[in-house]
Structure 1
Amino acid sequence: YRHTQKPLPEIGKELNVDGIIEGAVIRAGDRVRVDTQLIEVGSDRHLWANTYERNLGDVIALQNEIARAVANQVQARLTPQEQAHLLSEDSVDPQTYELYLKARYFWGKRDENSIRKSVDYFQQAIQRSPNYAPAYAGLAEAYAVKFDVAPQEQYSAAKSAARRALEIDDDLAEAHNALAASLFWYDWDWAGAEKEFQRALALNPNYAQGHQWYGQLQKALGRRNWSDEVLRAGELDPLSILPSGVGWYRESGQYDLALGLIRKKLELYPNAPSLYAELGEIYARKRMYQDAIASSQKSVTLSAGEPVYLSGLARVYAISGKRKEALQIIEQLTVLSKRRYISSVQIAEIYAALNETDLAFRWLDRALGEHSPALVYLKSPTVLETLHSDPRYAELERRVGLPL
């Protein structure tokens, strides 16, 4: 909302909040000043304001001081862990912290190029400050969503970084969250993953990404209440690029609600390929094939041809009856796979949509050998629907270790 002309009451309604914090940051050399104010949304009334100034190396302590002041003003109830966190006076090298913030910024964008930049910035932060635990935790979370390398390489790096972060600071929620994600998506260790997700959320109950990924674990295990976690993630971080809740709306057939949520996200991120891919899939389920193809094509264009969006377009082509175009993309992905990792599940999904059942299972067998993270979602009713009645599908679920 930085450049928006919307009035505060409208912003408050969109974010579902009663108060908004406005602020300005001024940096001069090694000093930083923060002017902040708390505004009641309904009345546009200023409830509180203050100015803070610190050395740049004390920026984390400054953030905690401001957070404590705001919590006191709104009389927020803090857990003991949250109180301890806000009372900490940790200092950090300013350049390290700047690298860390850049890494988190690119991580939040979630396209392949941005994730690569994120990994690079986290690694630079670690090189500068080898004992800065948040940088290791961030690196682990970045690898957890870095899908341009094989899963073994991806999650080995993620677990290594997460465990190094925990050696330095065992109370770091992000590190437990990253370790949980690796145990979930690659090791298929459901109990171990759940323990780590619960530990992360006990340390930081307001960590949106923790709720998002814990909800994915519950979805994979076939629990009916999995949507509670992802919807909570959306409440905690309404400005995230992730359209939390779309998966639930898709599974429950509430396609118009899904479209509404995606369109709201597009107001914030008008060039996000992931959102256009989501649009394409929902339109295809509504049998609005022309719109589905147009949206999916836009996701490919905006991403400069990332494989995940190419495969999404191919599935839409297949569902729309454009068999030739779908097969052409399979050929394109096959060529790409000689230069970089392409998930076998992506190929299997296209063949499934084309009703090429034997070929789909052939690629799913390859995915099993890769320990593809996408296989954890086999129990989802919207994944590989055309294969569910085949006995080989139940056998695949058993081999992945999913509960019956």
Structure 2
Amino acid sequence: MEASRRAAMRALELDNELAEAWLALAEIQFDYDWDWSRAEMTIRTALEYGPKNAPVLRQATWVALTLGETERALEFAQLAVDLDPLDYSGLTNLGTTYWALGQPEEEERIYRQILELYPKAVSVKSFLAAALTAQGNPEEGLQYLDFDSENRWQRTMSTIVLHNLGRHEEERPIRQKMIEDNGRHWAFNIATTCAWHGDPDKAFEWLDIAFEQKDTLMTTLPIAQWLAPLHDDPRWEKILAKMGLLDYWKDMRGKRVGEEQ
């Protein structure tokens, strides 16, 4: 990571207006340093020099989402798709933005569009299954899941969908296999399954592991819909505080409550 940081800084020494170099630096500050304010400033600079640079817009989406700027996040994600309507990364970014915003109907629409273009997109199939489950249609979601898949999202969403259907004898071995085969690399995903299955102690145990491992998925804590069962547990705010995300999450939650009233 430090080599990547040095490379980005060297590129900026040669060309201080290179959007790609500012993007590389923002990604390090966001995914690895967890320095939210600095990442926000850096991605703004990248946007200044690359306002129509799709990778810059995608990273700007995630920075905005994590910091609770949901309207700006959707604008960035949509603009990236407008620039290249067939781009897999851009479409997936838009779909996951709708997931973060709690709009499963729009999320479903985007994922179906992606699968028309990329029918073998395994992760997207799992996201579609999750979107359907969020709308109360887990049975329909099953057709997009492969319980024997090695894909982390296929396994994660398989446990969630099966749990929603009450098929616990089928989901338990999948979750156990996640732990046995990929516990060192899938800590955040395992925490997600534990949270949704009503085991907060195990969920926080795995979140602590993800924190220590600098799991990049920890940056999604404020927007992770499947971790909602943990929100009323006092340990939830503690881990957000450790991440430096507590104030952002509280602001985001306050906005949503205001919108619902």
- What band does the TM-score fall into relative to the shorter chain? 0.7 to 0.9
Aligned: 1:290 with 2:136: no
Q: Report what 1:207 is aligned to.
A: 53
Unaligned runs of 5+ in 1: 1-154
Residues 145-188 of structure 1: CA distance to partner in whole angstroms, max 9, x if unpaired? xxxxxxxxxx4454344334434444321221122012112211
The structure where helix makes up a greater share of residues is 2
- Cα shift at 1:343: 2.5
Q: Report what 1:29 is aligned to.
A: none
Cα separation, 2, equivalents of 1:238 and 1:171: 27
Contact 1:307 1:342 in 2 (8 A): no
Q: Report what 1:379 is aligned to.
A: 222
- Cα shift at 1:238: 1.3
Q: Percent identity?
A: 28
Q: Report what 1:356 is aligned to.
A: 199
Cα separation, 2, equivalents of 1:164 and 1:314: 45
Aligned: 1:228 with 2:75: yes
Contact 1:344 1:363 in 2 (8 A): yes
Q: Report what 2:236 is aligned to.
A: 393
Distance 1:321 1:195, change over 3 A: same
Residues 31-69 of structure 1: CA distance to partner in whole angstroms, max 9, x if unpaired? xxxxxxxxxxxxxxxxxxxxxxxxxxxxxxxxxxxxxxx
- 2:114 counterpart (265, 268, 276): 265
After the TM superposition, which parts of structure 1 deviate over 6 Å for at least 4 consecutive aligned residues? none
Aligned: 1:239 with 2:86: yes
Contact 1:333 1:342 in 2 (8 A): no
Cα separation, 1, equivalents of 2:198 and 2:155: 19
Residues 100-150 of structure 1: CA distance to partner in whole angstroms, max 9, x if unpaired? xxxxxxxxxxxxxxxxxxxxxxxxxxxxxxxxxxxxxxxxxxxxxxxxxxx
Aligned: 1:219 with 2:65: yes
Distance 1:202 1:271, change over 3 A: same
1:190-205 equivalence runs, <5 A: 190-205=36-51
SS in 2 for 1:270: coil
Higher relative contact order (CA 8 A, sep 6+): 2
1:4-403 equivalence runs, <5 A: 155-156=1-2, 158-225=4-71, 226-242=73-89, 243=91, 244-297=93-146, 301=149, 305-337=150-182, 341-380=184-223, 382-403=225-246
- Cα shift at 1:253: 4.6
Cα separation, 2, equivalents of 1:230 and 1:163: 27
Letter in 2 for 1:317: L
The structure where strand makes up a greater share of residues is 1
SS in 2 for 1:342: coil
C-alpha RMSD over aligned residues? 2.2
Residues 245-299 of structure 1: CA distance to partner in whole angstroms, max 9, x if unpaired? 323433455433222222222222111112212211101111211222221328x
Cα separation, 1, equivalents of 2:133 and 2:109: 16
Cα separation, 2, equivalents of 1:317 and 1:167: 52
Cα separation, 1, equivalents of 2:109 and 2:152: 26
Cα separation, 1, equivalents of 2:38 and 2:181: 35
Contact 2:95 2:107 in 1 (8 A): yes
Cα separation, 2, equivalents of 1:403 and 1:331: 31
- Cα shift at 1:370: 1.4
Unaligned runs of 5+ in 2: 248-261
- Cα shift at 1:350: 0.6
